[in-house]
Amino acid sequence: MEKKYTTTAVNDTKIRDTTRIEGGMELKMTSPLRDTSGSNPEQTIGIAWATCFNMTLKQILNAKGLDTDSKVSVEVNLMKEGVGYYFEMIATVAIDGMSLEDTDYYADLAHHRCPVSKLISSNPHVHVKSETY
């Protein structure tokens, strides 16, 4: 295996409510259960999956000679479970001018190739569905 890219995200209690990328951006972070400004883990995992999934989908479509618009929206729900929490994640895929059956096909291909999907797909609370564009 060949490493193509590395980044490091750091959340340090000395810099309260901030997560940063070493040598890059900083995000003010907060809990979704608090009424304070800032991003939260639910938003950042949603952004990561939606971006990775749609970029993978576009690569597959382009390789098939299909130059069309696509959209992946990710709903992330923080679910209460006993004394803890878990994420339920639902990706909804739409491809302009494509039937639901074909969208399902390409969404499945992209879900199996997207690195974030590979990371989370064994979770029983992760789902992918299609809709018209």
- Residue 35 has what pLDDT? 86
Q: Which domains does the chain have, with CATH numbers?
A: 1-39 (no CATH), 41-130 (3.30.300.20)
Reported confidence tier of residue 17, pLDDT bands at 50, 70, 90: confident
- Residue 9 has what pLDDT? 95
Could you read off the pLDDT of 46-105 as tens digits, one per residue? 999 999 999 999 999 999 999 999 999 999 999 999 999 999 999 999 999 999 999 999
Per-residue 3-state assignment (H helix, E strand, C coil) for the chain: CCCCCCCCEEECCCCCCEEEECCCCEEEECCCCCCCCCECHHHHHHHHHHHHHHHHHHHHHHHCCCCCCEEEEEEEEEEEECCEEEEEEEEEEEECCCCHHHHHHHHHHHHHHCHHHHHHCCCCCEEEEECCC
